[in-house]
Chains A and B, each alone.
Chain A
């Protein structure tokens, strides 16, 4: 939100510099976005405060922290002149769920001309161009009070009627900017006769626009269904000053305030007379009251705040004190504070206006509760350290991938990016490509690992979607001997299991590409030629022999034995046989060499003395 300082000073009298004012704004929730030229402040606006999209709203909060009086803009609050029914413009609201209020007034015999210098300059300093006095007044009041307004030439209406209805399918509207947009049934449009004259709360049309010959106008201020406005403007891709405000939670009462303010300015700058017209407002929203307990301020803020200070702050912010006692204030929430929902929001007002910087800084003194960090979290960290110690590099990759053929893959419903429209079902698919980054930089890729989740769906409900904790490792097998590289990977796993004390590991081939890793019936993971997957939670469940420290040193005897086996015979069973035959405690593979059609393999057997 741009705040021109000259404009701001219409409502508060201060000689403070732009920088000092920016500091106060920042403290109360309107942070200075970028550097200031000393004339305009660009303040960050969050989504809650509709009144902070008005200069008066920002000025009110600034006045509260600066302890200055707020000068409210003048309005013309006298009743308008009566008008015969046949001279009025009928307001027909068909889209009842999209319109909360549609407040109108008629002006006759006005003179459309250039705006005076102050008005032009004000709008330009905010960043809006000047058009003519009437359009400029509607824009000025919108920026000043936050209520979008709209003026139309009544002589350009073909019927004395404005209809607010849902658009028809593929209905076309030409906007004030001369652009043609197509709308659909969810969109609110204003129409007269056969013409669509505006998209409600979003943009006006050119059919009834004000020009230099205009003398009679209808002025409207509407309050619409914010959600619908937000969705429609997103769909149409229209973002403008009107949308910015009408999509927020504005109060319907603001339409009346804005019309009275605009009336004052129109009579001053364009002359003419003003008349009543219809005000569609079927469900009047009454002011809300809320209690503010002094105790609650202390409970949230930490220190008691003097009741007189609380009262002063709340009054400055526009709250009306309806009742009070020693424990609490009963406050009427000002209509423009549509953000206030709970008592703590009132507490927030007290604390922010007293400035967070002034609050003491205290450490929590209480004894901490029992630690409940999940074991598996700690275990994953241990595994990370072991893999790093074994020479593997850790990577983190994006779990969002392009949808593949896996039926259990979870797909996104609204992904903007078609390269990232599903979740990975294995880390391999996102980690393996990292190897090529190393190769691109002419580095020999080390073994890589990633600790993370894979995502799977079993059925179609949320409960059937599973996140599985895994650690996956990959190794480049395109350089060097595949069997040797694979042995390296298996060696890493062997060292890991050894260190974790997980024994009795079995590799059982599942298909020609992968083997499952088991301890008894517990599936620990999967092993492939160039990669492995470990299921962390199962690893944690595995039986471990953690007493791996020796205190009595038994000097085992070793003996090397060479056996001849058939070529490519698996060596695992041969080693099991040797172990049994020699009653050995351990058998290790030492070496092998081919001998005609056989292979001679040397094993080292360990025997108890």
Chain B
């Protein structure tokens, strides 16, 4: 039989095989097996043909060979016994999912923040929650009995030296003391206040701190970094306001407000009719802080910022009472 006729013959045979048999591996071997495959055999005959026959049959055989492979592969894909539309598979029937747990909302936000800062070359830094007055206040330019210590009602373990840290700035004091510039660090932490808990204030809550010390760092870099964080958290079209604000651990200090996204700056209950929401405090790390932590402030400058995380978490997840967030009042949907 000439090869052209054989091709037509095998074509038919393959179609029949694909209908009759679902063992696609066997079908493949029948046609393409290295030793006895039918198409393999045809290809082996090619060299014995005259050059005219070769130019005629060669391309035909090649096309047939490639097409046949595709046909088998397609059949294989369609060939699983059950189809999704077959009876017995009911797409409308909701089944109980295999149970999975959930991360706490605060963990989820912390991870988002960590990811942002990790991308920007910051390491995550941690420090003890039981802290000395040195790292919580003195090294941050808050000498004993400074009126600004009144901003934070401190929970003492041993008055006046050992306390529960009142802010994550203590992490900054520790890292600056223990490492050499360039430094980039960020991270979340629990902080404590001697307060009676209410809807919006708990005796313990979370702050997120970040700081960067290097040569040539200025307030412009701080503005740039904070703009990006806000865009990352609240969307690219977020509107910000930068203003001077005093914080003892920085000079100059900077407060950042975001145009209230609920009223678009018109003023509503959530923003206390201000049109703006205060989102974080920041500034250039205080000259005295750098010095006390062993960094030469005439060579290095740096910025720091800190923000409360809980309000952000509560807004994102629609939780109205901070005590619920940490009192086990977060019950996950099941």
Contact = CB atoms under 8 A, between A and B. Distances in A.
Interface of A: 26-29, 31-32, 34-35, 46-49, 226-227, 230, 247-249, 298-303, 339, 341-345, 347-348, 351-352, 356-357, 359-364, 366-369, 371-374, 377, 381, 384, 387-400, 410-417, 420, 423, 431, 433-434, 437-438, 441, 443, 446-447, 449, 453, 455, 462, 465, 467
A547 to B, nearest CB: 28
Interface size class of B (residues with CB under 8 A): 35 or more
A258 B99 CA distance: 73
Given A27-B243, A362-B224, A399-B190, A467 B130 contact: yes
Given A48-B246, A230-B150, A399-B190, A34 B219 contact: no
B197 A28 contact: no
A413 B157 CA distance: 5
A356 to B, nearest CB: 4
A339 B253 CA distance: 13
A396 B243 contact: no
B204 interface: yes
A344 B287 contact: yes
A34 B192 CA distance: 28
Nearest to B205: A398
B219 A389 contact: no
A420 B125 CA distance: 28
A449 B154 CA distance: 29
Given A356-B219, A361-B223, A414 B159 contact: yes
Nearest to A376: B126
A352 B274 contact: no
A364 B224 contact: yes
Contact of A302 (B101, B104, B106, B219): B219
B220 A453 contact: no
A398 B219 contact: no
Contacts of B177: none
A48 B332 contact: no
B224 A396 contact: no
B100 to A, nearest CB: 6
Interface in B283-298: 284, 286-288
B93 to A, nearest CB: 23
Contacts of B161: 462
Interface string B260-297: 00000001000011100000000010111000000000
Contacts of A397: 326-328
Contacts of A374: 124, 126
Contacts of B286: 342, 344
Given A47-B151, A356-B219, A395 B328 contact: yes
A369 B103 contact: no
A366 B184 CA distance: 11
20 contacts: A29-B246, A35-B273, A46-B151, A47-B148, A47-B150, A48-B148, A361-B224, A364-B224, A368-B120, A374-B124, A387-B101, A394-B101, A396-B104, A398-B326, A398-B327, A399-B190, A412-B157, A414-B194, A416-B196, A437-B329
Nearest to A374: B126
Contacts of B129: 399, 453, 455, 467
A299 B150 CA distance: 32
Interface of A is mostly: loop
A343 B288 CA distance: 11
Given A46-B245, A413-B157, A434 B328 contact: yes
Contacts of B332: 393
Contacts of B247: 46
A42 B325 CA distance: 33
In the A-B complex, the 4 residue pairs with the smallest Cβ-Cβ separation, listed nearest first, are A368-B121, A434-B328, A302-B218, A348-B252
Interface in B13-51: none
A394 B102 contact: yes
Contacts of B244: 27-29, 348, 351-352, 356
Given A417-B197, A417-B203, A462-B162, A356 B242 contact: yes
Contacts of B162: 462, 465
A372 B245 contact: no
Contact of A34 (B179, B245, B273, B325): B273
Contacts of A449: 101
Interface in B133-158: 145-148, 150-151, 154-158
A245 to B, nearest CB: 11
A383 to B, nearest CB: 12
A49 B190 CA distance: 30
B218 A299 contact: yes
Given A347-B252, A443-B331, A49 B246 contact: yes
Given A227-B145, A369-B121, A395 B220 contact: no
Given A298-B218, A388-B102, A447-B101, 9 more contacts: A26-B241, A46-B246, A300-B284, A302-B221, A396-B107, A416-B196, A417-B197, A443-B331, A446-B99
Given A247-B147, A300-B218, A417-B196, A438 B251 contact: no
B116 interface: no
Given A27-B244, A372-B123, A437-B329, A394 B203 contact: no
A461 to B, nearest CB: 9
Interface centre among B146, B155, B212 (most CB of A within 10 A): B155
B21 to A, nearest CB: 27
Interface string B94-111: 000001111110110001
Contacts of B106: 396
B330 interface: yes
Contacts of A303: 220
Given A300-B218, A300-B252, A345-B251, A398 B284 contact: no
Contact of A384 (B103, B124, B243, B326): B103
B201 interface: no
A364 B221 contact: yes
Given A374-B126, A377-B124, A366 B182 contact: yes
A382 to B, nearest CB: 12
Contact of A412 (B132, B155, B326): B155
A363 B101 contact: no
A324 to B, nearest CB: 21
Contacts of A339: 246
B173 to A, nearest CB: 16
Contact of B156 (A344, A351, A400, A414): A414
B213 to A, nearest CB: 10
B207 interface: no
Contacts of A392: 101
B276 to A, nearest CB: 9
Contacts of A46: 148, 151, 245-247
B73 to A, nearest CB: 25
B243 A416 contact: no
Nearest to B153: A416
A344 B251 contact: yes
Interface centre among A28, A390, A398, A446 (most CB of B within 10 A): A398
B301 interface: yes
